[in-house]
Structure 1
Amino acid sequence: MRSIEIISIPVTDQQTAKEFYLKLGFKLIVEAPYQGGANWIQLGLPDGGTSITLVNWFPELKPGSIQGFVIKCDDLDKTLAEIAEKGITVGSADKTPWGRFATVKDPDGNAWSLHGK
């Protein structure tokens, strides 16, 4: 094994979630028809190796159940300002002994921790 390639993010509405993640700064890698009328929507960050796919076909994965995945930012304050300019609500930055973190949630409540200086 070498790396984590794709993480499934459970969502209610794939298109709504896709628009949120694009606004957040993700780039579309693939969008193609999938099973049962769903789409395979895969997105990634510009410099990241791991990507995400927006899923609605795993009954055991409930939309909003993902918490605590961390996105590294070079400049957290700049990132928070850019996100706010796009109309995305983000929590305030908390300082911990291991860095500064702020939480952003997608439309379903999946929470991401933004981490940076």
Structure 2
Amino acid sequence: MDWKIELVPVPVSDVDAAKNFYVNQVGFADDFDQRVNEDLRFVQLTPPGSACSVVIGEGTTDMVPGSQRIQIVVPNAAGARQHLLNAGVETSEVTPLDWGTFVYFSDPDGNQWSLQELPAVTES
């Protein structure tokens, strides 16, 4: 039986500003934006190539804005960093570790993202 994570909530204080950041700067796809009722606005965004999306909005989570930590695997950490820098997103330097190469950034609320380039597999 397959178990697939499909949607992760990201708590934000300003839905429109967060949507602009994720879509126009980071490069996520704008999948869905619907006000379901007075208390619920559901905005689904998907990182390029990902089978898992994030949801921001009103009434989508009880988490405090800025409290989420998410890790994404990317094919090239330096390339992902350059993409973010070109779009005006502040990032960390590229950080090589034994278990991968990392770049870190935060959204306007302080939700933290880790981008991991997996280490090369060596054949024995």
TM-score under structure 1 normalisation? 0.90
Superposition deviation, residue 110 in structure 1 = 0.1
Superposition deviation, residue 14 in structure 1 = 0.5
Structure 1 pair 11/70, CA: closer, same or farther in 2 (3 Å)?
same
2:27 counterpart of 1:25: yes
How many residues end up aligned between the 2 structures? 116
In structure 2, the residue corresponding to 1:77 is in which secondary structure? helix
Moved over 4 A (4+): none
**Residue deviations 1:5-64, cap 9 Å, x none?**
100100000010001111201001111113335421000023111100003426730000
Correspondences of 1:38-117 after superposition (within 5 Å): 38-57=40-59, 60-67=62-69, 69-116=70-117
Aligned counterparts of 2:61 and 2:96: Cα–Cα separation in 1: 36
Gaps of 5+ in 2: 119-124
Percent identical pairs in the alignment equals 27
Structure 1 pair 78/59, CA: closer, same or farther in 2 (3 Å)?
closer
Which entry has the higher C-alpha Rg, 1 or 2?
2
Gaps of 5+ in 1: none
TM-score under structure 2 normalisation? 0.85
In structure 2, the residue corresponding to 1:82 is in which secondary structure? helix
Aligned counterparts of 1:60 and 1:85: Cα–Cα separation in 2: 33
Aligned counterparts of 2:30 and 2:57: Cα–Cα separation in 1: 15
Aligned counterparts of 1:59 and 1:51: Cα–Cα separation in 2: 15
Counterpart residue identity of residue 24, structure 1: V
Counterpart residue identity of residue 107, structure 2: D
**Residue deviations 1:77-99, cap 9 Å, x none?**
11111110111101112121100
